[in-house]
Amino acid sequence: MPKEGLKLKALTFLISLGFFIYSYVTANTLAPWLALLFWGITLFIMYFFRDPEREIPPGEKLILSPSDGKIVAIEKVPKLDFLGSPGTKISTFLSLWDVHFIRSPIDGKISYYKYSSGKFRPAFKTQASLENEQAELGIENHFGKVVVKKIAGVLARRIVTYLKPQEETIAGGKIGMIRFGSRVELILPEKVELKVQLGQKLKAGETVVGVFK
């Protein structure tokens, strides 16, 4: 569990323990229910920050899903300077019940990082891609380039990125996370054969999204 999760878990556990002690000392009838409420929140935080092992499929040309979740849009995008060509954007919505660690879709180097402040609209809506707080990573290797965009939602108000420009990453390696519901977009260049479809459920680091031609 990342340190952010440990802090939240410790805080809610201590609050729960405090209410239990208070109810025992004072015989207050409301305190036990508040203690149970915060204990439930503690259990949810432990569940949310879970980090299950993933079986990374072998293959240098494979492009893996950067996130868990459901594909809510697949659309063409105009030429991007980083990709050097038009591309395809695959948008995935992560519910509260999905694992929220973000993984690198390919082996390669972080070529750029861009953070943009913004709104906190529902992450499943198209406007979230343009208006919400977000962080964008460009990753490249000798087969090609991809862009991973992490977008905050109504509840997701904390985007965490583990790597900096010029650092190396491996396919399926953790590159960040988003707290409490969000949207992740993977933008691929033209020279990629897609292996997914609209509405498909993805697993970060396991599902093959595309293959470099």
Which CATH number do you get for residue 205? Answer: 2.70.70.10
91 included as an active-site residue: no
Residue 188 and residue 99 share a domain: yes
Count structural domains, the chain: 2
Q: Give the three-class secondary structure for 176.
A: strand
User: Residue 159 belongs to what domain range?
Assistant: 62-212
Q: What is the pLDDT of the chain when averaged over all its residues?
A: 86
Indicate if 38 and 77 belong to the same structural domain: no
Residue 204 and residue 115 in one domain: yes
Residues 41 and 68 occupy one common structural domain: no
Both tokens assigned to 43: 């259990």
Neighbours of 142 (CB within 10 A): 8
Strand partners, 94: 182
Tokens of 131: 């208006």
Q: Are residues 85 and 40 in the same domain?
A: no
108 and 42 in a common domain: no
55 assigned to some structural domain = no
Q: What would the pLDDT profile of 67-112 be if each residue is shown by its tens digit?
A: 999 999 999 999 888 898 899 999 999 888 899 899 999 999 999 9
Query: Which residues of the chain carry a pLDDT beneath 70?
Result: 1-5, 118-131, 153-158, 180-181
On whether residue 53 sits in a domain, the answer given is no
Beta-bridged to residue 201, according to DSSP, are 70
